[in-house]
Chains A and B, each alone.
Chain A
Amino acid sequence: MMASSRVNLLKAALGTFPAKFCGQSTRNTYVFQHVVVPPATPPGQTQRPPTEKQDFQKYELIEEETTTPAGPISVILLEDVEGVGHQFDVVEVDREIARNDLLLTRKAQYASPFDLKYYGDLKERMKDELAKRVRIPFEWLQIGRRLQKMVVPLTVSMDDAWTLNKGIVVASLRQIGVDVLDGAVHLPVEAISGPNFELEARLIRFYIVINKQYVIPMIGRLSHISADESKQALYPDTDKAITSEQLRKFGLVPETPYFHKSADIDDNFGVFDFMKARAKKV
């Protein structure tokens, strides 16, 4: 730990990692070109020495190969890596990530001809097992994680009668920057209506379905609003994460997202009851 911190300090101080400290050789490749093209050697004669004329020794730098970025490297993933790919996939990854993370931690292997064949054969042998695995697309996982952290303020009127419906939830989500294009929101079966100040700041469980396949449990908090500014109420801080104690107060439990086998979760699926039953089992 001490040695690595000292090394990091050195790195920061020097800016680069010189060869004498890491024991590895460094190499810079320069591509030069004659400024004055020397005359072609006639056949049968020996080449004129470059020291004969000054012009023969004049070179200009065309390219310093070391400065051009090397580009991504092709690796075979040995396990499912989020954001990169699935097991046995041959992917192009950023060189730094490959060298510092994937290859060192044995999550990936260089895509050498031998390893390509070896892992290709292994993939064939493990085909059935791989097919059984549940693979959730990375974008859905990312969105799911972000959504689960949010507490959506469900803005409802202080003056007019309302019943919590999809429209209110979708509009409230839009206010905090989340757009649900097809209205795939599933609410509790028991209708919640108001205005009812006993329900103010109540936590409500609802579900969002991504691409009819991935169900994400979300929390909403009822907040009565009014266009009349004199009636404004103070709302609790929504930046903090909801604790399980707070959930228990409203009869809720922490839940995890559910990935369905096929993309057929629609309005008739009964998402709310299904997730409730699933939460009870857990």
Chain B
Amino acid sequence: MNSILRQFSTLSVARQLHSDARLLANPSSVVLIQNRGRKRALKASISRQEKMERRLKREEREAARKQYNFMERIQIRRMKNLLSPSQQYPGRYVADDEAELPDAPLCNVFIREDVKTQFYSITDALKMHRELQQPSMYNNPRAPLKVRFELNMDTERATKMVSASSEIVPIPNPFKHNEKRTILAFAAKPELQELAVESGAEIALGPDMIKKIIKGQFRIDDYDFCVAHTDMGSTILPLRGILKTRFPTKINGGFGDDLPGAIERFKSGVKVDIKPDPVFPQWGLCEPVIGRLHMPDEEIESNLHAIIDAICKHRSPALGPFVNRAVLMTIPGTSFAALDVSKYLPVATEEEIEKLEKRKTGKKKKKEEKAVEQKVAEVDELLAVM
């Protein structure tokens, strides 16, 4: 063992001697860089190769940084954290992407991606779904039908969008939705409160509880909607900010004399949630369940009409169509059919268009008017002096 080690060491020494000899023979090849003194390690210089590597890395990082501008980087960061529900199946309808495709199929057989999105009437869309859900196939003829509304959430101000809301819309043809709905009833008299609870309300409150709700001692987040009798009157007005879209008004049918009727309407109504997209704020989604597949076509159509009316109240029609595309789907299921809802969308009246114009140019006009008034005043003064 020792002899082997000695041999090995002599070999290495011989090699070292040999390399030293070569160095001495060619002194110009010797590069001596010595660092002496304090902070030797910090002053240690790096080789040319190391310098090249560091420069390349720096340039790569710079190139990666310069690839996107500021707004794009914000967008990328947002997208990494969140997934856009609007872009998930079946995605968002963008008319510009289909501009080059033919409007209508050229033959009786066509591949959907080779033609523009075909918008079907509700009857045709229902027929397609019924064919798929027949007993021979998916065997679900009573499947709940949902309509996926793609919404345009922008308003006249660039930074302000239509806010999220949740409401229960009464529909002309109720159906079995198997949802548990909790309704809060406001009534002054104890008999009315009892009647409300019997009709199906979760709980009935009187005027004394209103202060508690405002203070926060009574939680109202769990309740889907509120109904109030006329004898409560204006006492429930302080709760408007807390209840927001759940607040009972004459318009939404929650405020009236007939408590059982109102409760019945809201129990059987459709829950409509308008959700803005977290990644793309100008987009929104709303997926209400409008009926069941076995219902007659007219009933489903009338339900759809009522729901669209309720949804479109959230944005002025003068800004353009609120609904980008409405797609009929079944639960559960992935197949969808685009619906032609143009006849149900509200048409902007001239008054509304004028109002919008005024709001847009309101500030500018005010400034101009003020300037004109000032000038008129100055001229009057001059005339008075003269």
Contact = CB atoms under 8 A, between A and B. Distances in A.
**A and B together in one complex:** yes
Interface of A: 139-140, 143, 146-147, 155-157, 159-163, 165, 167-168, 170-172, 174-175, 177-182, 184, 208, 210-211, 225, 227
Given A160-B136, A175-B132, A184 B335 contact: no
B107 A210 contact: yes
B109 A208 contact: yes
Nearest to B135: A160
Contact of B107 (A160, A170, A171, A211): A211
A180 B140 contact: no
Given A161-B136, A165-B136, A180-B109, 8 more contacts: A140-B107, A160-B139, A163-B136, A168-B137, A171-B132, A174-B132, A175-B132, A179-B112
B153 to A, nearest CB: 30
Q: How large is the interface on B (under 10, 10 to 19, 20 to 34, 35 or more residues)?
A: 20 to 34
Nearest to B102: A139
Interface of B: 105-113, 118, 128, 131-132, 134-140, 332, 335
A146 B136 contact: no
Interface of A is mostly: mixed
Contact of B131 (A171, A182, A208): A171
A156 B109 contact: no
Contacts of B110: 143, 178-179, 181
A115 to B, nearest CB: 32
A213 B109 CA distance: 12
Nearest to B113: A177
5 contacts: A160-B139, A162-B137, A170-B131, A174-B335, A210-B108
Question: Which of A156, A168, A179, A181 is most buried by chain B, counting CB atoms within 10 A of its CB?
Answer: A179
Nearest to B128: A174
Contacts of A210: 107-109
Nearest to A166: B131
Nearest to B138: A227
B256 to A, nearest CB: 42
Contacts of A181: 105, 108-110
Contacts of A155: 137-138
A167 B134 contact: yes
Given A171-B132, A210-B107, A211-B107, A157 B112 contact: no
